[in-house]
Structures are given as structure tokens and as C-alpha cells.
A and B are shown apart, each in its own frame.
Chain A
């Protein structure tokens, strides 16, 4: 069957700053407005860790930017609201070393269990070490 939804126009891309403690509340509001989580980006800017939650909404594409302390980045999981975010968050836990509190998947999914070294996507000068390498 064919969809009856009409063709849209290019959605403006918006960025919005959000605090780590108000994130779940904000996402709850967005979900009430038919938001769909597109992706989560974790990024090390050198000064801080940024979590970017990308949402597709009717009429716009919104990114919630959550800055975290680089020394001990920690944030509450959003899987309670969006179960599909499990792998997106897991990737950030493993690649950037961000602690995601109450995450439903405590096991390594992307990187090897015997990997010893800093989180691979952190900006750092030291080289990662793999046993036996």
C-alpha cells in the first residue's frame, strides 16, 4: 500500500543546549510531539565531552547538546523512554568512556574484551595497547 503522507520540505537543523539532569524531561516532552530519535553522537572537544541527541520532529531536525565534565563524564540513560537507544548509548560508553547510569546492557558490544587502553575516540596522545601486540 502507498503512504498518503504529503511530501515535506527541507527541515531546518537546530541545536539546543540542555543540562544532563533535565535531559530525560526534555526528551519526554519531545516524544509527546512525535519525535523520533535518529542518532546519538558522543564527541570529545578537548575541553569537554558533548553528548548530542539527534531527533527528527515534524518540521525540524533538533539536536540536544549536553555538555559533560571531561574528567568524569556521567549521564542518565534514556533507554527508559526510548528502548531503541541501547546500542547508540553503548557505543558511546565503549568509545568515549562516558558512564551511562542505569544502562540496561552492561557488557561490551563493540570493542574487544581484552582491549586495554584509553577509550578509542578520546582525544589523547597515548597510543592504545592491545595484549600480545
Chain B
């Protein structure tokens, strides 16, 4: 923690919010002794967009779209959390067909997010061709997402009480075909990531998070499961159609970067399995229910986002807007565990360890400088512009 970094002597290296080795806009200050990391501190909120506050000024339909724009990768999971909250407070009955469609889209999103991550992980360890292979495979699912929902990333298919349109039979055929092809490519990626000796030597034993640390530091999702913490909202608190589908939760016991990679790669296969089952078992019937009104009340809802448990809380006061909306994204839960992962690691391992939790955070507003006398100061955007001149 902060105090630890201060008590030990060492050189401080600031990384982020803009840095060639770190695409995500978060700031880390590493205290290093030679090549060894002995302390780490972080700073967030570089582009805090005030979405929770903004939610209070939007009506229940607009909130759905806003929720979907929280993230640019796992956008659908936030929209799912929101509609579940609204449906719980309004006691809205959702047709089973809609629940199956939501399950299919949610799993398609997991596939595209995990493949995106696999590409970035490849790039971070200097394996550029792996990055290309993973992203090429990802295009298969992106094409299907565009075909089924009309959009590649922010799908806009959810609505309170159901979905906006069903999956057409022609699109189902295309999707099944692409999933068969995708399965082969996942097999290949599995072989490369888990059996290639070069990758294994690069990531095995790096950034270890023990089971006890993962529990205490409230890790979620693949980060927790790779440390052997057996949690998955889809199985423990089955929402949508997950209760009726058969799938496995993947665990790993090493808690290292290799484990987090393995969990994600093997989860891809489970997602393919879930989509295929959901398409087979999808009931006929209505896919939306427009008869709803949201009274005064409060609700919490959770989904298993690609990065872990996503949590939303909503309180309403009887008007057409929420009075309080709280979002706890999985990345916020996974930031404190990184401090345990960095301990005693090498500087060269920093990028892959950060990438291994699959962080997903907003943008920057200013830069931190640490001068050679050891005192740090923050520079405002105005000063930064002056320096540029």
C-alpha cells in the first residue's frame, strides 16, 4: 500500500496514465530496488465521467442506453444489470425467450472480450503474431454480433421487459457455423497459450496472487478463479437462462499470469457450449413485455461480466428516474489485488501483470511528476500545455 512504498528506500517509476507499456489510463507509481518491484501505489479517476450522477437525470429508458455506454468492451453486461434492477423493482415478467436471447448475447460478448484480451496478452509478451491470430478469431464473433444485434460493440438490444428483437433463424445458422470455426481456433489458441514452452516460461509463476490474498482483497472473475476462488455469478446466483444450461466453471490453482490466461482461454470453450445449448433450447413465444411501471423501491443486481462480477444498485422514488444508481465494475474490485501481484516481480513483468487482470478504466486529466529529489507533485493540464510551448 502507500505507506509501504514510502517506508522502503528505492527509486520511483511512474507508469501511466499515458505510457507505451500501458494502454489503460490508470497511473501506477512503482518503487523499485534495481529491477525488483518493492512497492506500488496507484491513482484512478482520470476520466471519471460521473455516470452515476447522470443516471439520476435520465428516465428509465434512457438509463438503459447510458448503462450500456459505461464500458466499450463489456457494454452489454452493464445493460443487463440495469434491466434486471428495473425489472425487479417493477416486478416485470420477462418472457423466457428474451432471457435466452440475453444469455446468448452475454456469452458472445464474453467470447469477444476474452479473445480481445488474448490478443493484448500476446502483444504484451512480445508475441505479435499471436495478437493477430486472436483478433482474427475475434472477428468471427464480432460479425455475428453485428448480424444479430445490428451493432458490433454497444449492441442496444436490451430493453426493460425483454429484448428489442429476436434472433432471426438465418442468423442462427450463420452463428452456429461461425462457432464451429471459432472452436477450432480456440483449440489452436489453447495449444499455443498453454503448451508453448516459450510462453510458459514467460508467464508461469509471474504475478502470483494466492487464494488467501484473492479472497481478502475481494478479487472477482477470472482473476479470482485463477487463484482457486470458486465464484461465478452465473452458477451461484443463476440469472437469465443460466439456471437451465449446462456448463463448467473453470478454476486454476497457481494464481499466476499463466493461470489467468488458462482460465480465460478455457472459458471460451464453455461460452461456445452455452451459446449452442441456448440456441437449441430457445423457446418460442413473445420476446418483450411492454407493460411495466417502476414504483418506489430499491434493488441490487449482479451479472458475471467477462472481467468478473458486475454489481449495480438502483433506488427509485416513484418518478420516472432513479434517485440513486451505484455501479461497481469488476476492474475496481481487481485493482487492490494487483498490489499483491507486483510484489518482488521484475520491472519487465509489469505490463503483462497489469494486462493479466484485463483492466478497463476511463481516461486521463493530468500527469504526475516525480523529480530527482524524491518529492512528487502534480501538474495541471494548463501547466502541461505551457510546457509544450
Q: Are A54 and B313 in contact (CB under 8 A)?
A: yes
The contact size tier of chain A is: 35 or more
Give the Cβ gap from A107 to chain B, nearest Cβ, in Å: 7
- 0 or 1 for each of B250-290: is its CB under 8 Å from A? (1 = yes): 11110000000000000000000000000000000000000
Main secondary structure of the interface of B (DSSP, over half): mixed
- 0 or 1 for each of A36-58: is its CB under 8 Å from B? (1 = yes): 11110111110000001010100
Contact partners of A85 in chain B: CB under 8 A: 218
B347 interface residue (CB < 8 Å to A):
no
Chain B residues within 8 Å of chain A by Cβ, number:
54
Other-chain residue from A2, A5, A54, A83 in contact with B311 (beta carbon distance below 8 A): A54
Q: Are A7 and B48 in contact (CB under 8 A)?
A: no
Contact partners of B204 in chain A: CB under 8 A: none
Other-chain residue from A41, A45, A105, A110 in contact with B48 (beta carbon distance below 8 A): A110
Bound form: Cα–Cα A104–B382 in Å: 32
Q: A8-B237, A41-B313, A63-B300 are in contact. Are A84 and B219 (CB under 8 A)?
A: yes
Q: Are A105 and B44 in contact (CB under 8 A)?
A: no
Q: A5-B230, A8-B237, A52-B313 are in contact. Are A84 and B250 (CB under 8 A)?
A: no
A33 interface residue (CB < 8 Å to B):
no
B171 interface residue (CB < 8 Å to A):
no
Show the binding face of B for A, using Cβ within 8 Å.
1-3, 42-45, 48, 50, 52-53, 88, 215-219, 230-232, 235-239, 243, 248-253, 298-300, 302, 309, 311, 313, 315, 323-324, 326, 328, 332-333, 335-337, 365-366, 378, 380, 382
Across the A-B interface, the 3 shortest Cβ-Cβ residue pairs: A84-B218, A110-B45, A39-B328
